Structure 1
Amino acid sequence: MRILPFACLLLASTAAGAQTVPIDTFRDAVKTLSSDEYEGRAPGTAGEEKTLAYLVAQFQAAGLKPGNDGSWFQDVPLVEITARNVSPLRFTGGKAPLSLAYGPQMVVGTYQVTPRIDLKDSDVVFVGYGVNAPERGWNDYAGVDVKGKTVVILINDPDWASEDTTGAFGGRAMTYYGRWTYKYEEAARQGAAAAIIVHQTAPAAYGWNVVQSSWTGAQQLADSADGGASESKAIGWIQLDHAKALFAGAGKDFDQLAAAAARKGFKPVPLTGVKASVSFDNQVRKHASKNVIGILPGTAKPDEVVLYTGHWDHLGRCEAAPDGDDICNGAIDNATGTAALVALAKANAAAGATPRSQVFLAVTAEESGLLGSAYYGDNPVYPHAKTVGGVNMDALQMAGPAKNVTVVGAGKSELDGYLARALASQGRVASPEPTPEKGYYYRSDHFSLAKHGVPMLYVDGGNDLVEGGVAAGEAYAAAYEKNAYHGPQDEFDPKWRWDGVQRDLDLYYAVGRALATSDAWPNWVAGDEFRAIRDKSRAGE
């Protein structure tokens, strides 16, 4: 996920006699999928058509079979909404009116499938972190009716700034309550007409450039029976400085209210007299994007399935860079994970089928909110009760060999044991994620399977590099996030370190192969949030 040059130092990829995943296959796939010809692989575009054709050809050449009852595809019904003629977001009634421009100062969109959105003179209420968690005794909407109103919300959890992982919401380790997706879901349940998140780089875990590139242009939504009628009219973000000006205009101090919102017992604060207005047209297109599914059928227990997952999509054409480049190629995010599926399919087919089936699932619309994996989770081609577990691959580390790997969600399931044994054969160790406050556990496709009880590993490349140690690893991560993440600079680089990612690919191979040759059914650890779902699923198989 990051870019820095490193001198060449080759390490042995695997233990003696272990399978080596073909790095040339991986390299070629990353280069192809992230080329300008694929236009950033946005769902519903010519880039999708090229991606699907490429993946099917590669899966076939590797020796896989179509994985969905004779088809390579699972249709995922989506709605594409592109905002047009977006007015400024206006706040009136305060000491000084505010008019925020679309793109550099605010972004706005909708989950409602309608040709026009008009929000006019909506009362504004600050609802802190926008959390309603009865099991934690926390309700940021307590005592106020926000139906038809505009709610302003802080990103992340109330205790995100904690130095450890203790607290009402896990301290600096983000919970789902901290994700922007949850904020909008809860605002809609409360009846809010609009929900606006205040962007702050540290708790959001990315800069405004990521918000702007991700939220402008065509947006993909899951198709729904009610056409989004139960959703808020408008959802979006505003820059921090403008939020402070908004509060000041209402006679409030943003910093004081934000501090109060972090404490239990916070009550929502109306910005008395302030009204919000915004309008825009929607270009609406319904279409079916596709998940791609290939299978290497098992020899003895073909109905028992081990999953490899990765999302093939990216942002397509996006906010142009200063040089005019407007293609978000998504080389690291996630041509690398998709290429890993291709290379792992080839390696496993070359090694021969395992007793259990191995399924290679390339999902769509991850960048729009895990839509493809969520659809598979709700409509599994292979029953969850018969899915042993798996490995999700998203944005592989290209900085070179590392002494460790970072595990997102370490300690949650018995898959950690499989990982530990595979790492031992490489002389490496597992480390907990260094930035749990960024909420990566809820930001990739493994989450969609975990919600249905399926144990999934999500292993990021290590941050303790052989050359330069942790300092070099952190510098690589920071450079990628600042310069390339969700932007046109996320492009293929022939100078990347292929020896490091080779070891990661071999690791994924070893874990999946062990699961596919075992009789065991790994579970979530006792007390984990997904344990009861898994137990119920397995009991009713």
Structure 2
Amino acid sequence: MPRKHPLILSSLLLSSQLLATAGTAAADEPALSVKTMKSVTQELSSDAFEGRAPGTVGEEKTLALLEKEFSEAGLKPGNQGSWFQDVPLVQITADNVSDLRVSGGERELSYKYGPEMVVFSYRVTPKIAIENSDVVFVGYGINAPEKGWNDYEGVDVEGKTVVILVNDPDYETEDLQGTFNGRAMTYYGRWSYKYEEAARQGAAAALIVHDTVPAAYGWNVVESSNTGPQHVADAANGHMDQTLANGWIQKSVAAELLASAGQDLDALTAAAKKPGFKSVDLGLKASLSFDNQIEKQRSKNVIGVLPGNERPDEYVLYTAHWDHLGRCGADETGDDICNGAIDNATGTAALVALAEAHVAAGPTARSIVFLAVTAEESGLLGSESYAANPVYPLSRTAGGINMDAFSMTGQARDVVVIGKGKSELDSYLEAAVAADGRVARNEPTPEKGYYYRSDHFSFAKRGVPMLYFEGGEDLVKGGVAAGRAAAEDFTEHRYHGPQDEYDPDWDWSGVMADLKLYYRIGRDLANTDQWPNWVEGDEFRAVRDASRGAE
């Protein structure tokens, strides 16, 4: 019989211990308030909050509401007597955006801002102008020395415009085997990485080719998310080390642009999937310009704490982002408020409902921190700010649970775990779902890279074990087919659009079933003396070992 790794043995032991107590814990848990969930979600997503964009009246109203709700729930202010943590931001709004003009090919090309391309800048400067910048196709725009992969090898892109494919080279594989984890997206596939690497390479502009399947969302999401005010963290250098411009272009635009240079998008995409791909200088020149309206702001995270009664200097985190897009592209009715009811008024409401329940049950051994973060929609800026400047030491944070968008599709037989198998926190989840006769399943679409798209990532990359799961697909009414259809409908018709509004006819049964899981996991983690870790070989294991070793 093969010898089990000590980590696996400890995980199995922990799982059996949790399962043994799960029935008792489930019986003793206080009622979680659906009234709270409904009322907080409805208020946060009302038009009066104008989509909760940082730095707006929507933020002011959100902060006031959360302070009131956290206080009435019985939490204590979580930041040295204050409910708030400052998050210095800069709001940058592109204005007077020119067409993207491309010359040097078979004919002159021009593309409109909004329907054909979007562009913005992280640089805190009033004017952006790119004139006759050489255009280079750089495949997936990845430089990964540990994988022996460098799309920029042998090419100088200083001052040039790079055209980049979305996702990473092996996203179309059927399994999780491959240089870039097969079907599962790595961080190299995320748009944020691609802009970061283009800046490191000295590019003037980085344009990602939008393709709905590998991007995991349609052009409507790209347009609504990247036009209007954008936010970056305030920085001493004004982000002048970044590209002049970042953006997206429609796939049809990329195909036409490449054809003008005598190249074929499909052929280049196929070539870019293979090791040894060489970037292609297209012989084209790109020009565009726009103004930046700049406003420095201090947005805020909201922090409440339930102090522990045995080891108050050890912490368990609940996180959710309170912000959304604010005013965005109007729909056919003229509605231009992206209310963000599901994304993420529901998760923010869950912080309040969980706070009420934990206070009612009494203190746990460890302290429980309830963290509502800002600017998630701008690139996880609020959680990144907290994780870089933690109120409570990350080395003393046992783990956390992130909540981002509850499902209104009714009860499910399962939950979908983003990043299943990465950490020992899975044992806590397994015990919690088993108490209800449910199961925890792997995410069905790992190619969409959800693990890098919400606030848990800011903590995970610094070593804190974080759970992130979503409502299940296998619905009690309609099974997997109904669950997937509902998820696809939300992504296509409501995600990051004005249609993500509160609906008084929502079915809250699945939400409340999932909320019980969040409660049980947090309660168990806050009462144990265990320190869950990432599994051996996980990308975040080394940094956790280092931080805990410093204790």
Report the TM-score when normalising by structure 2.
0.95
CA distance in 1, matches of 2:439, 2:244: 48
Aligned residue number for residue 9 of structure 1: none
Instruction: Select the residue among 218, 231, 242 that pairs with 1:231.
Output: 242
Q: CA deviation at 1:16?
A: 3.5
Q: 306, 323, 345: which one pairs with 2:316?
A: 306
TM (norm. structure 1) is 0.97
Find the residue that maps to 1:487 and give its secondary structure.
coil
Cα deviation digits, residues 371-406 of structure 1 (max 9, x gap): 000111110110011101011000111100000000
CA RMSD in angstroms, aligned pairs only: 1.0
- In the TM superposition, what are the counterparts of 1:215-364 in structure 2 within 5 Å? 215-272=226-283, 274-364=284-374
User: Which amino acid letter does the alignment assign opposite residue 248 of structure 1?
Assistant: A
- Matched residue of 2:435: which SS? helix
1:137-286 aligned at under 5 Å gives the runs 137-272=148-283, 274-286=284-296
Q: How far does residue 286 in structure 1 lie from its aligned partner after superposition?
A: 0.7
Deviations 1:121-164 (A, max 9, x none): 00000000000000000000010000000000000001111111
Which residue does the alignment assign to 2:20?
none
1:53 maps to 64
Q: 2:87 aligns with which of 76, 79, 89?
A: 76
Q: Structure 1 residue 97: deviation in Å? A: 1.1
**Which residue pairs with 1:511 in the alignment?**
521
How far apart in 1 are the matches of 2:527 and 2:269? 52
| Long gaps (5+) in structure 1 | 1-13
Secondary structure of the residue that 1:151 maps to in structure 2? strand
Is the contact between residue 323 and residue 376 of structure 2 (CA under 8 Å) also seen in structure 1?
Answer: yes
8 Å contact from structure 1 (residues 387, 454) kept in 2: yes
Residue 10 (structure 2) aligns with: none
SS in structure 2 of the partner of residue 290 of structure 1? strand
1:19, 1:506 within 8 Å by CA — same for their partners in 2? no
Q: Does residue 531 of structure 2 align to residue 500 of structure 1?
A: no
What CA distance in whole angstroms lies between the structure 1 residues aligned with 2:173 and 2:503?
Answer: 37
The 2-side partners of 1:449 and 1:21 are apart by 27
- 1:464-506: CA deviation from partner (whole Å, max 9, x where unpaired): 0000000000010010001000000000011111111111001
C-alpha distance in 2 between matches for 1:473 and 1:171: 25
Q: How far, CA to CA, are the matches of 1:74 and 1:431 in structure 2?
A: 35
Equivalent of residue 527 in structure 1, options 522, 533, 537: 537
SS of the counterpart of 1:398?
A: coil
**Residue pair 2:26, 2:520 contacting (<8 A) in 1 also:** no
Deviation at 1:438, TM superposition (A): 0.5
Q: Which residue of 2 aligns with 1:120?
A: 131
- Asked if residue 96 in structure 1 is aligned to residue 107 in structure 2, the reply is yes
The answer as to 2:434 corresponding to 1:424 is yes
Shift of 1:19: 2.8
Q: Does 1:477 align with 2:487?
A: yes
Q: How many Å apart are 1:21 and its aligned residue?
A: 1.4
Q: Which amino acid aligns with 1:277?
A: S
Aligned to 2:457: 447
Could you tell me how far apart the structure 1 residues matched to 2:411 and 2:311 are? 36
For 1:458 and 1:501, the matched residues in 2 are separated by 15
Q: Contact conserved, 2:42 with 2:341, CA < 8 A, in 1?
A: yes
Give the Å deviation of 1:20: 2.8
**1:222-244 alpha-carbon deviations (Å, 9 max, x no partner):** 11121011000011000011111
SS at match of 1:278: strand
* Amino acid corresponding to residue 476 of structure 1 in structure 2: A
Query: Displacement of 1:461 after TM fit?
Result: 0.5
Distance 2:30 2:477 in 1: 25
CA distance in 1, matches of 2:147, 2:542: 19
Q: Name which of 116, 128, 133 aligns with 2:144.
A: 133
Aligned to 1:87: 98
Cα deviation, residue 15, structure 1: 4.2
> Out of 54, 62, 71, which is 1:43 matched to?
54
**What amino acid does structure 1 have at the position aligned with 2:298?**
A
Contact in 1 for aligned 2:305/2:367 (Cα 8 Å): yes
Taking the aligned partners of 1:522 and 1:122, their CA distance within structure 2 comes to 50
Q: Quote the Cα distance in structure 1 between the aligned partners of 2:100 and 2:157.
A: 19
Provide structure 2 residue ranges, at least 5 long, that are not aligned to the other structure: 1-24
The one of 350, 368, 372 aligned to 2:378? 368
AA aligned opposite 1:500: G
The match for 1:435 is: 445
Q: Match of 2:402?
A: 392
Instruction: Give the aligned residue type for 2:62.
Output: T
Inter-partner Cα distance in structure 2 for 1:167 and 1:324: 46
Distance 1:449 1:79 in 2: 22
Question: 1 CA distance for matches of 2:261 and 2:509?
Answer: 57
Once residues 534 and 19 of structure 1 are traced to their aligned partners in structure 2, the CA distance between those partners, rounded to angstroms, is 33
Asked if structure 1 preserves the Cα contact closer than 8 Å seen for 2:41 and 2:346, the reply is yes
Q: Output the amino acid matched with 2:529.
A: D
Q: Within 1, Cα distance between the matches of 2:383 and 2:214?
A: 25
Work out which of the residue numbers 20, 25, 29 in structure 1 matches 2:40.
29
The reply to whether residue 67 of structure 1 matches residue 78 of structure 2 is yes
Q: In 2, are the aligned partners of 1:111 and 1:221 still within 8 Å (CA)? A: yes
Letter in structure 2 aligned against 1:361: L
